[in-house]
Structures are given as C-alpha cells and as structure tokens.
C-alpha cells in the first residue's frame, strides 16, 4: 500500500510538470494566427536565417563529431596524466552561460596575437559566418563528447581485445569493431550536437555579432524581432526552433534510450 502511494506520487509529479512545460511550449503555436506564421515563414529575413542556421549548424555538427570521436575514445579507453583536467575543462561550457563562452572566444579570436596571426592567414572569425560555426562548435562539443564517451564506455573492451589478439592493429580494431558497435550512439550525438548548434545564441551574438541578414541565425532572428516589437516573426522563429528540437530529441531518445541503444558488453 505504501509502495502504491509512492509510485502514484512520483508518476503524478512527472505528469504534472510535463503538462506545465507542454502548455508553455504549446502557447507558442496557439497564440499567433496561422496566416501570421505563414507570412513570417515566407519573409526574406526568415528564409535567410533558416538557411544560414541549417548550413552553419550542419558544418559545426560535422566538425563536432569528427573531433568528438577521438576525444571520447581517449577519455574512455586510455589513462593519462591530466585526464581529469581535460575532462573538467571540456565540460566547462555546459556549466557557464553561453555569453561567457562568447566573450572568451571574442577575446581569443579577436585583436590578440593569436587572432592577428589567424587574420594574417586570411582567417577571420569575429563578425563573420565562420564565427557562427566556431561559436556553435564550442557550444555543442561538450555535449557530443559526453554522449560519445558514454557510448564507448558501454562497449566492452573484450571485443577489442579479441580483435587485437587475432592480429588487427589498434586503428583497424577501432575502425572495424568499435565504430560499428558505436553507430547508434554516434548518430545520437550527431542529433544532440545539431540541436545544440541550432539553438546557440549568446556565443553567436558576441562572437559573430548577430547582424541583421548577415550573421543572423534563428535565435538572433527571434531576439531581433522581439526588439522590433515584431511578435509574429519572433514567435515563428521560436516555433521553428521548437520543431527542430522536437525532431532531434525524438530521434535521440529512439537511439540512445531505446532497445537499439549502445551495446552492453
């Protein structure tokens, strides 16, 4: 009887707060009139913003995965001096506001010795679309590393040891045994990185400038139009971002939490 009450209570809390959150998100969809949304979706600014968001988020996601895989693998399989420091520093951007990351990146890539050296090579980050990718990359990287690390942790080293004992090199083992087994987890981290990149705002605003129809991605469109008092456009930006996030999380849950999750060795 006591157990039944405990069970009922916990389930009730889960449903209650899910309901509140759902209602908050749902109002985005119900407040504006449909023709307002359609009008906003067709506007030049929204089309520009959506295209730029998709392109930069795709690029930053690709980069995050390419770099996240070796990082995640190293943290999972190898012990080395400074490992805990590496882990902590990689996790930092998850713990502080995005604006801090944006300011830090501005200082690094701006008018400093490092930034000037990059400029001399023709690579400009501040106030450019490349700045968007850089900001999104560093925003999304910690999340991807976490998921990838967890994925590799969930694969028993036994499979790798067997492959090695049968003559495979370390790299061959990684490429032919470990990566295929990590497929679902890697796809999940791709999804979470993309969603996180699409939603990056503070870092992009500071590093890339958040310029109208230049370095304007969807979160900036939302912010700009709130500032203009153009609520229809602002809400529509929010709706697009919610739809993207919803699809991303749906796929993520399917791959990460479902029966096709990482192989448990």
The one-character DSSP state at 138 is H
Q: Which stretch binds other proteins (CB under 8 A): 89-97, 150-158, 164-172, 208-216?
A: 208-216
Q: Is 227 in the site for other proteins (CB under 8 A)?
A: yes
Q: How far apart are CA 69 and CA 93, in angstroms?
A: 18
- 67 close to 141: Cβ distance less than 8 angstroms: yes
Which of 206, 241, 244, 248 lies at the binding interface for other proteins (CB under 8 A)? 206
| CB of 127 vs other proteins, minimal distance in Å | 4
Shortest distance (Å) from residue 96 CB to other proteins? 17
Candidate segments 56-64, 67-75, 227-235, 238-246, binder of other proteins by CB under 8 A: 227-235
Residue 39: name the closest of 187, 239, 258 by CA.
239
C-alpha–C-alpha distance, residues 151 and 260, integer Å:
12
Q: Which of residues 124-163 bind other proteins (CB under 8 A)?
A: 126-127
Q: How far is the CB of 111 from other proteins (least distance, A)?
A: 4
Judged by CB under 8 A, the stretch of 11-19, 85-93, 176-184, 217-225 that binds other proteins is 217-225
Cβ atoms of 134 and 57 closer than 8 Å? no
Helices (H), the chain: 2-30, 34-42, 44-77, 83-95, 98-109, 113-120, 129-153, 157-165, 170-173, 179-181, 183-199, 202-208, 218-228, 231-256
Site for other proteins contains 215 (CB under 8 A): yes
Summarize as ranges the residues that interact with other proteins (CB under 8 A). Answer: 103, 106-107, 110-111, 126-127, 205-206, 209-212, 214-215, 220, 223-224, 226-229, 231
């Amino acid at each position: 009887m006591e157990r039944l009450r405990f069970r009922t209570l916990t389930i009730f809390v889960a449903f209650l707060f899910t309901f509140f959150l759902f209602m908050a998100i749902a109002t985005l969809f119900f407040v504006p009139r449909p023709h307002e949304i359609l009008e906003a979706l067709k506007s030049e600014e929204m089309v520009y913003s959506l295209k730029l968001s998709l392109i930069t988020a795709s690029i930053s996601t690709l980069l995050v995965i390419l770099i996240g895989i070796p990082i995640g693998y190293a943290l999972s399989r190898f012990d080395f001096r400074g490992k805990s420091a590496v882990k902590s520093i990689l996790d930092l951007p998850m713990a502080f506001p995005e604006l801090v990351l944006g300011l830090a990146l501005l200082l690094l890539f701006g008018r400093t010795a490092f930034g000037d050296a990059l400029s001399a090579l023709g690579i400009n980050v501040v106030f450019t679309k490349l700045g968007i990718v850089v900001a999104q990359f560093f925003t999304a990287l910690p999340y991807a590393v976490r998921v990838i690390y967890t994925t590799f942790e969930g694969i028993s080293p036994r499979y790798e040891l067997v492959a090695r004992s049968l003559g495979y090199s370390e790299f061959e083992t990684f490429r032919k045994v470990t990566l295929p087994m990590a497929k679902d987890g890697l796809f999940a981290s791709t999804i979470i990185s993309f969603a996180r990149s699409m939603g990056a705002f503070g870092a992009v605003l500071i590093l890339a400038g958040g310029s109208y129809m230049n370095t304007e991605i969807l979160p900036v469109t939302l912010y700009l139009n709130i500032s203009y008092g153009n609520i229809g456009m602002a809400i529509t930006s929010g709706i697009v971002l919610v739809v993207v996030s919803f699809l991303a999380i749906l796929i993520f849950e399917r791959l990460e939490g479902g029966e096709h999750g990482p192989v448990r060795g």
